[in-house]
Chains A and B, each alone.
Chain A
Amino acid sequence: MFSVFKNRFEQGYRTCSYPKEKPAVFERYRGKPMVRQDAPQDMVDICAEACPQDAIDRNLKKIDMGKCIFCGTCERLSNKEFVQFTGDFEISTAQKDHLLTAGDLPDLAEHSKQHFKKLFGRSLQLRQVSAAGCNACEADLNVLATPFFDLARFGINFVASPRHSDGIVVTGPVSRNMKTALLQTFEAVPDPKVVIAVGTCTITGGPFSGSPEITEGLDKILPVDLFIPGCPPHPLTNLHALLAFFK
């Protein structure tokens, strides 16, 4: 018993004060990309060519965060003169086309469906469906339950049954073998319900684009309300998205 108390004392209080204050993330973290649209075309072309996800629109000079895996190749090739990844983790959007960006994202709180705030603002119960990703998105959703993020203090929980939930959080590029289970889980959630797409491969197929085994975009099979990009999205990105969209 004594060692339980001793450890409790050593561990201290660990919960972050987000959203009041933004916790610091290490410098090398790659968050929202800032794109300089006056970059020379040849530089843009080199970056677009090298991008492993083909996420750069070379004509519009914008990055599609729905395809981007935030590897930083373009930042490095352009020596930050075309793209620079900032430490800003608040990068989620309510519409898929908002993800194609030069760095100026619309305010998520304003673009969220306002009736959701009324319905779910004080209590939001979510059912997570993992559908063929790499398990990194799941892992960084799971950590929201740890003391540092403590998602439950906002009245948001992940629950065991779709019957008890207000919506589903989908990760992964929805494989052929997982599609029916996903659709049945969605069906089992009572109306009105929310669909949240977490991670690049959920939004566009991401690294698995081109495989006949997957679905290139959850929005092709379900009405998605909230897009959380990243590979995987940082837990703070997830937290921001849930708070801005529903609170």
Chain B
Amino acid sequence: MMTAFLNISNGEAIDRKKIPHLPFADFSENALEIVKKGGKPVQLFAYQDGPALKFMAVLRTDKLWVAGCDAPESYPSLTQTCEPFHMFEREMAEQFGVQPVGHPWLKMVRYHANYRKVKDVFGNHYKEDIPGHYDYYQVEGNEIHEVAVGPVHAGVIEPGHFRFNCIGEKVLHLEIQLGYQHRGIENLLCTVKAKRLPILAENIAGDTTIGHSLCMAEAVEALTRVQPDKGAKIIRTIALELERLANHIGDLGALSGDVAFLPPANYFGRLRGDFLNLALLISGNRFGKGLVRPGGVRFDLSDDVRKTLGERLKELKPQVTHVLELLFLASTVRDRFEDCGRVSKMDADHLGLVGPAGRASGLAYDVRRCFPTEYFGEIGIPENKKFTGDVYARARVRYDEVLQSMSIIQSLIGQPVETRIVNASDFNLAPFSFVVTLNEAWRGEVSHAVLTGNDGKILRYKVKDPSFHNWNGLAMALRNTGISDFPLNNKSFNLSYCGFDL
């Protein structure tokens, strides 16, 4: 491919001098060129480098590409030509007050003042509560009505505001307003002591503890030129798959509950706990907190633990399989799942959906297969793509992945796994360097990008959760769907609020 962007690898630290620093026009033109040909943005962010504000983009085709440029105060929006930049440009406008001119829907992302203390792009002074100076999208006409839900929802779930524009029971448009969970994590990551970094990574999204921890660990490992041993890679792979299992099984149970088929809802609820307990078996924490650290893992897979893990999996596998059959063979369940909340492949591609939501709509992308980390290079990961893009397809992707993850773990624990436990909590990062890491967490592509300054301190730490891409997929799925199918569609995506809000 002819491009001014530089080809890099997942988790490869490079000298920042090697990153092409282009004039903005070239940066924009090359980025658009790559995305028009089917590439996707992995990261696009602004950062303050001394007095200068700069942009940096990481794009993916079958390879990863990086380039940067000086940030203009305002610039022609990339989203006008390529939709996948949509959220990124809104985020840059909010974080640094740069104006993407011609952006089709320039709305705040998380509702906070910009970091440069320059004029607010959205006309907010942040003394009012969220959403501040913003009128929600409105549909007008006879018999049109609005339903507003949240931020406090009816269940034990995270906060967010949903606004449905309906005609009768049909949803014409769903607007999703997030930001309630914003904790300012990206800024904290640049200021805290090294010992707090892994802890923060674990708490970006607790249900994706391993996914985010791996991205941070790999980034720090690249910047300190430390490689984890083979055993650590195997344990981290097992942990990521256990996380996938617990969440996918929980989701399938919740989906079952939402179509009022209660037996699988209860069985999967209990089985999900069993998989969380397997994370506890290894790490002492049901979410795997405390396990992954730069350089390796803090807990080994002793023969006792390995044996217990194997026994429990052997016991759980038939139970899981039978409940999967119970759920998927029920005609009433299929009737509700099929053709509900359809997202076409074209829409999914334009929105840049990732993970199971993307695969359900025919986008086969899976970081484990395309840019493998840890031990995934040694494991064959199937494409898992489906074609119908409905709730059924999103459930079916999980069905396949649940069975695969159990097999993956079983294949890794047949032999003794040896690793040297890491305890270090301090590290010196290579100065003036850049690294981007990607991992396929259960919701899809998680990515961290780290830039260090001349002093080896973190200049910018950018975190992207897969939910950043996928929330718009949910809004799209809801179009022309009955409002009573919202819970079902919502569960079929099960996106992260805190991962999005950071």
* A interface, CB within 8 angstroms of B: 3-4, 6-8, 10-11, 14, 25-26, 28-30, 50-53, 69-73, 76-77, 85, 128-143, 145-148, 158, 160-162, 172-173, 175-178, 180-182, 185, 201, 206-208, 210-214, 231-232, 234-235
Contact = CB atoms under 8 A, between A and B. Distances in A.
Interface in B384-421: none
19 contacts: A3-B326, A4-B263, A7-B267, A7-B326, A28-B299, A52-B199, A72-B284, A73-B425, A76-B298, A143-B273, A146-B270, A161-B154, A175-B182, A177-B130, A207-B199, A210-B191, A211-B184, A231-B203, A235-B273
Contacts of A162: 152
B82 interface: no
B51 interface: no
A135 B206 contact: yes
A146 B276 CA distance: 13
Interface string B289-321: 110000000110000010010000000000100
**Size bin of chain B's contact surface:** 35 or more
B457 interface: no
Interface string B317-330: 00100110110010
Interface in B12-57: none
A136 B206 contact: yes
Contact of A177 (B111, B158, B188, B319): B111
Contacts of B206: 133-137, 139, 232
Interface in B201-227: 202-207, 209
Interface of B: 110-112, 129-130, 151-152, 154-159, 179-185, 187-188, 191-192, 195-196, 198-200, 202-207, 209, 263-264, 266-267, 269-270, 272-273, 276-277, 280-287, 289-290, 298-299, 305, 308, 319, 322-323, 325-326, 329, 423, 425, 496-498, 501
Q: 9 nearest interchain CB pairs?
A: A136-B206, A134-B206, A160-B154, A28-B284, A213-B184, A146-B269, A211-B184, A134-B203, A128-B156
Contacts of A85: 284
Contacts of A161: 154
B215 to A, nearest CB: 15
A135 B207 contact: yes
Contacts of B282: 28
Contacts of A77: 423
